[in-house]
Structures are given as C-alpha cells and as structure tokens.
Amino acid sequence: MRTSLSRPRVAVLGGGVIGMATATQLARRGAQVVLVTEAELADGASGRSLSWLNSFGGMRSEAYHHLRFLGIDRYRTFATRNPSFGCLKFDGGLTWAAPGEESHRVAFEHMRRNGYDAVWLARDEVAQWAPGVNPAAIPDEGAIFNPGEGWVDLLALVQHLAGEFTAAGGLILAGGGAAGVVVEGGRAVAVRTGAGERIDVDAVLLATGADVPNMVRPFGVEIPDATPTALLVRTKPVDTTLRATLNTPRVALRPAPGGALVMDSDASAAEVIDHADGTYEVKDSTVEQLLREATAVLAGNPRLELDSYGVGRKPIPGDGDPVLGELDEVPGLFIAFTHSGATLALIAGELLADEIITGERSPLLAAFRPGRFR
C-alpha cells in the first residue's frame, strides 16, 4: 500500500468513462472511494463521443498502439463477462480516404506490419464485409476494413460501471458544482466540493476531461492542450443494415442503441460558434449538411432525421498522446487527460488504480506520464 491505512481514501474528480472506470477498479481493490462530478455522470466528452474502439492509423508510437490494443482486449473481456450488455459491438470499422490520398496506404501497411487486423477492399468487396454501405461512395482506390474494431455506448457503460462501483461501496456525489484539489505541504490531501465541503483523502485522480490542464496549472504544471470543439449528432431510428463504424473523408458514423445513428466530422465541428460566455451555437445548416453526408454513404440513401446533438470540448493533449499518472510536482495527485477516452477507459482505469493503490509505476504508462512535458 502507498499509505499506512488498510483502506486508502481516494477521491476521483470527473464522472466520465475514465473517471468512472478508475473509481470502479479502486473500489474493487478495497479503497474507500468518492467520485465527485460537477454535473451529472457522463455529461461531458463521454456523452458526446463517437466512441470508436480502435488503433487505426500509422502515426502513433509503438507504446500508444500497444496501450490501445490492450484497451480493446479489456472490452472483449468485459463483453464476455457481461453478455447482457447490449451497447458494445465488435462489427469492424470501414475507413476510406479522399481519392488519391497516399496516407491511407501508408497507414494500412503500418497496421499490417504491427499485426493489426486490416483488409484492403475493392469497391465490389465492401458489401460482403460491411453491409449497409453505399458502393458508389467508395473511391476507386478502395477502403480499409478492420474486423477487430467496434464501438461502445459510453453513457450506458458509465451507468453500468456506476452500479458496480456503488455495489462495491463507492460513493457518488453528482451535481455538486466545480470541485478542486487541496494541496498542503506539497501533497494532495483533500478535495473541496462546489458546496465547500472538504473531503480528506490519501490520493486524488483528476479525470475532468478538457478541464485538466487548467486545474493543474496552479501547481506549476503545464500540460500542452490541443482541445477543440466537438459536435456529435444523433438521428432518429433508421432502417439500415449498417453494423460497422464508418470513417470517411466527410463524415464518421456508427449504429447506436435503439436503431439510431450517431455521427460527427471535423468540418461540422469547425462551424460551431464558441461564445465568450462558454455557450455554443450550432447552425441548422451544419446539422443538415452532416445528415446529408451520412445519407450519401449509406446503402439506399435513407432519409435521416435529427433526434438530438451534443456540443462541447473534446480533450486532446498537445502532442496527441495520453497524459496518465501521478504529478511529480504534487505527490498524491494523479491525472487522466486523453483524446482516446473510449478505447483506453478500461485499461487506463485498471493501470491507474494499481498505481494509486500500490505506489508502483506501471511500465505501460512510462511514455505517457505528465513529467514528459518538463
């Protein structure tokens, strides 16, 4: 144990999927855990994530690819242990690039060299591997299909983990406003809720998404931040045979529970207007264009109707890699700041919980520690 207590006291700030996964792992290991959220569970980035489970591409480091592989592995274990959880699917991912874009071929070759299951499909082969896709949308160069990829509904996952967490003795304080970390003697010793309540602890995990860089700055810690605005659109239920996650030049989409589709794109997110007061404005034309782009890539070009959308900040560290682990400047204060929250949630929660409980640093997180920015 990292403390003399038989049951270390830990506070987790943030009710997204990484905070909830870590809190659950801590409770399973016997810690006394309180999870504190500013609003409701999964009301931040986890509630508006495409949540594509993958390690697609050729630009990541070997350590990052390996961590994502482990993340997908933990989801497969979760699916086996929770067969009634219907909000996690492994029906593959289909990706294609704009005509003539060589980077896609480079990514394919990189994935194959690293043992990541990838198949290059000609246009007339796509229907066999990924039903529900409009063949006319596939470029002449073809598309990449990754059979081992999937998606998860993060709101459902967070709710499921919350049930496990409370059953293991964990306490959730939701909707309490912005909480902060109390540092005394150079160490994290407590959290203070939005209502002013002080909760003394032995360790704190900051899993507050895009807020993490600002929350650690007062302690002399600078985390480079490339956080953009994100927009996720959900449709009403639609008649489609699509099962795979699609990532195309103009839209990314996947099936969702209840027969709906969810989708996003960099182009649509770029049109969101960020107001100085922290609110966002989404134009009707932006949503309508995104729905049209999704219609165009689906077989039969079904008419898609808007059900809802979510907009807000999407946490992305400045160098693109996750930031996970204890701050050297503030012992007892751990952070989790990453773009790939869906893919990494279960493995990151496991590794962070082990470090908090034992004080032993995992070699799997060596490349992702906050100290790399000093």
Query: How confident is the model over 135-157, as pLDDT tens digits?
Result: 999 999 999 999 999 999 999 99
- In this prediction, residue 57 carries a pLDDT of 85
Provide, rounded to the nearest whole percent, the portion of the chain with pLDDT above 70: 98
Which CATH architecture describes the domain 9-47+155-225+318-373? Answer: 3-Layer(bba) Sandwich (3.50)
Enter the pTM of the model.
0.96
Q: Please state, in angstroms and rounded to a whole number, the distance separating the CA atoms of residues 346 and 349.
A: 5
pLDDT tens profile 57-68:
877 889 999 999
Class of domain 93-147+228-312: alpha beta
- In this prediction, residue 1 carries a pLDDT of 37
Q: What is the Cα Rg of the chain in Å?
A: 21
Question: 144 with 57: CB under 8 angstroms?
Answer: no
Please state whether beta strands 180-184 and 187-192 pair in parallel, antiparallel, or not at all (unpaired): antiparallel
Q: Please state, in angstroms and rounded to a whole number, the distance separating the CA atoms of residues 334 and 328.
A: 9
Average pLDDT, the chain: 95
What is the average pLDDT across 261-284? Answer: 96
pLDDT tens profile 278-321:
999 999 999 999 999 999 999 999 999 999 999 999 999 999 99
Range scoring the smallest mean pLDDT among 4-13, 251-260, 288-297: 4-13
DSSP-assigned beta bridge partners for residue 230: 312
- In this prediction, residue 58 carries a pLDDT of 75
Q: Please state, in angstroms and rounded to a whole number, the distance separating the CA atoms of residues 47 and 322.
A: 19
Q: Please state, in angstroms and rounded to a whole number, the distance separating the CA atoms of residues 143 and 158.
A: 33
Whether residue 3 is predicted with pLDDT greater than 60 in this model: the reply is no
What is the average pLDDT across 52-58? Answer: 92
Phi and psi, residue 183, nearest 5°: -115, 125
CA-based angle 173:178:182, to the nearest 5?
90
The number of C-alpha atoms within 13 Å of 179 and in the hemisphere containing its C-beta is: 29
Q: Please state, in angstroms and rounded to a whole number, the distance separating the CA atoms of residues 95 and 107.
A: 11
Question: What is the band of 323 on the pLDDT scale with cuts at 50, 70, 90?
Answer: very high
- In this prediction, residue 223 carries a pLDDT of 97
- In this prediction, residue 6 carries a pLDDT of 65
Whether residue 4 is predicted with pLDDT greater than 80 in this model: the reply is no
Please state whether beta strands 273-274 and 143-146 pair in parallel, antiparallel, or not at all (unpaired): unpaired
**Sheet of 171-173: strands edge to edge?**
171-173, 32-36, 9-13, 203-206, 333-337, 323-326
Q: What is the dihedral of CA 314, 318, 320, 321, to 10 degrees?
A: -110
What is the average pLDDT across 157-176? Answer: 97
CA-based angle 164:168:169, to the nearest 5?
125
CB-CB neighbours of 80 under 10 Å = 8
DSSP-assigned beta bridge partners for residue 198: 192
- Measured between alpha carbons, how far is residue 285 from residues 269, 295, 297, 330 in Å? 12, 15, 19, 47
Q: Six-digit token pair at 369?
A: 């520690």
Q: Please state, in angstroms and rounded to a whole number, the distance separating the CA atoms of residues 144 and 108.
A: 7
Whether residue 17 is predicted with pLDDT greater than 60 in this model: the reply is yes
Delimit the domains of the chain by residue range: 9-47+155-225+318-373, 93-147+228-312
What is the average pLDDT across 217-239? Answer: 97
Angle between helices 154-167 and 17-28 (to 10 degrees): 20
- Measured between alpha carbons, how far is residue 199 from residues 8, 138, 192 in Å? 13, 55, 6
Angle between helices 341-358 and 62-81 (to 10 degrees): 90
Q: Please state, in angstroms and rounded to a whole number, the distance separating the CA atoms of residues 268 and 250.
A: 9
Question: What is the band of 371 on the pLDDT scale with cuts at 50, 70, 90?
Answer: very high
